[in-house]
Structure 1
Amino acid sequence: MEKILSIKNIEKYYGNKGNMVKAIDDISFDVFKGEFVGVMGPSGSGKTTLLNNISTIDEVSAGHIYINEKDLTEITPKEIAKFRRENLGFIFQDFNLLDTLTIHENIALALTINRTKKNEIDSRVADVARELGIEDILSKYPYEVSGGQKQRCACARALITNPKLILADEPTGALDSRSAQMLIEMISQLNKELEATILMVTHDSFTASYCDRILFINDGKIFTELVKGKNTRKQFFNQILDVVALLGGDVRNVR
């Protein structure tokens, strides 16, 4: 299998010698092409710091992060923005859409920045909008559509550049139960049909049950890993709940 993401013994410290906090403590794991991997853990466990390091928003204190065999710890500041645009897709809890741009323009933004030809942009936006069922709102602005539609727009924006890795930060966190279920089912479908590689941070056990495997982080370390394998989603959900209970239950367990 093709290895998309490889984390090698990364550590992240904050503060100084007299008052140092180790947010990430020697974490290593791999993510392969087409995998849907979840990251769970109590608040303050280090999962958001991990995502920030992988996304190049923050830098590790030690260790290495490879995406498509490129070592992110060796990328120069000038290269980071270009690398992020070409290799990473992002789905945020609060959508991060620009209200002054239409849904079409929000989805197309990364392609526009990369100076892709207009005909190609329009074609690719139409294709991804059709996949996500938002063709009829492309001319609307974010403030004119529902939360679920905004999040589908965010998914389309993440997919439009055919990124090597999609990073999702609590994608269902700002949605009601029905919209959240529709979105996670859609993300799961995209993962299977398009072989999109996804790493998702979530507090929600129901959302996590759609993943292929879950990494549980506690106190900056990997506490354990669950692999769905041949289990049903309901069986996997119950296994997730068991681990959550061991970690103190600091996640949402009921949908």
Structure 2
Amino acid sequence: MKEILKLDHIQKYYGNGGNVTKAIQDISFSVQEGEFVGIMGASGSGKTTLLNCISTIDTVSAGHIYLDGTDVTEINEKQIARFRRENLGFVFQDFNLLDTLTISENIALALTINKVPAGEVDGRVREMAGKLNISDILDKYPYQVSGGQKQRCACARAIINQPKLILADEPTGALDSHSSQMLLSTIQSINEDLGATILMVTHDAFSASYANRILFMRDGAIFTEIRKGGDSRRTFFEKILDVLTMMGGGMSDVR
């Protein structure tokens, strides 16, 4: 199986002199093509900082991050925006949709920025919308649709350029339980049916149970990891709760 993401002893420090905060402490792991990996941890564990470094939004203090063989820590500032645009897809908690554009135009924006020929854009948007069951809202604006529909639009936008890696940051954080379950099923389908490689940050055990592998973070380091294997999602969910309890989080970290 092809290695899409590799972290090699990365560290991230903030501050200087005697006032240094170690947000990430010597983390190494890899993600294979087609994997759906969750990263869990309490607030302050370093999971968001880790995601920011992987996404090239932030830089590491030491170590290397490789995306499909390219060392992203060596890419200069002029090239990083293009690299991010062409290789990464993002699903944010707050959707990040433009209210002045229709759902169709929001999805198409990713293609337009990457200079996809205009004749191809509409067909690709409609194809992706069909896969995510949002074909009937393409002509509506974000303020006219539900939170769950907005998030599926965000998923369509994230995957339409066929990125090497999709990064999801607390994707269900702004949704009710029903919409959350629908979105997680959509993300799981993107992984299983479209072969997308997904890295999702969450502190919610229910959301994490949709992934195939979970990395648990504490104090800026990887505490442990578990894999779903042949387990049912319910069994995997219970194993996640067991690890959270062992880490000292217990049910207080589960929404």
Q: Which amino acid aligns with 1:142?
A: P
What one-letter code is carried by the residue in structure 2 that aligns with 1:34? G
Q: Please, which runs of 5 or more residues in structure 2 have no aligned partner?
A: none
Whole-angstrom CA distance in 1 between matches of 2:80 and 2:108 = 20
Within the alignment, does 1:126 sit opposite 2:93 as a pair?
A: no
Q: Residues 136-194 of structure 1, C-alpha deviation per residue, up to 9 Å, x if partnerless?
A: 11111111110000000000000110000000000111100000001101110110011
Identify the residue that residue 226 of structure 1 maps to in structure 2: 226
CA distance in 1, matches of 2:232, 2:17: 48
Contact 2:42 2:253 in 1 (8 A): no
- How far is the alpha carbon of 1:14 from its aligned partner? 0.2
1:154 aligns with 2:154: yes
Report the equivalent of 1:247: 247
Deviation at 1:22, TM superposition (A): 0.3
User: Structure 2 CA distance, aligned partners of 1:95 and 1:249?
Assistant: 28
Deviations, residues 6-65 of structure 1 (Å, cap 9, x unaligned): 000000000111200000000000000000000001100000000000000000000000
State the Cα distance separating 1:252 from its structure 2 match.
4.5
Give the equivalent residue in structure 2 for 1:206. 206
Say whether the 8 Å CA contact 1:41–1:247 is kept in structure 2.
Answer: no
Q: 1:66: Cα distance to partner?
A: 0.4
RMSD: 1.0
Please state how far the C-alpha of 1:122 moved relative to its aligned partner.
0.7
Q: Stretches of 4+ moved more than 6 A in 1?
A: none
Q: Where does residue 184 of structure 2 map in the other structure? A: 184
The number of equivalent residue pairs is 254
Q: Which residue of 2 aligns with 1:144?
A: 144
Between the aligned partners of 1:224 and 1:252, the Cα distance in structure 2 is: 17
Letter in 1 for 2:254: N
TM-superposed CA distance for 1:253, in Å, is: 2.9
Q: Tell me how far apart the structure 1 counterparts of residues 186 and 156 of structure 2 sit (CA, whole Å).
A: 11
Following the alignment from structure 1 to structure 2, what is the Cα–Cα distance between the partners of residues 4 and 170?
22
TM-score, structure 2 normalization:
0.98
Kindly, what percent of the aligned residue pairs are identical?
Answer: 67
The 5 A counterparts of 1:1-255 are 1-249=1-249, 252-253=253-254
Aligned to 1:237, what secondary structure does the other structure show?
helix
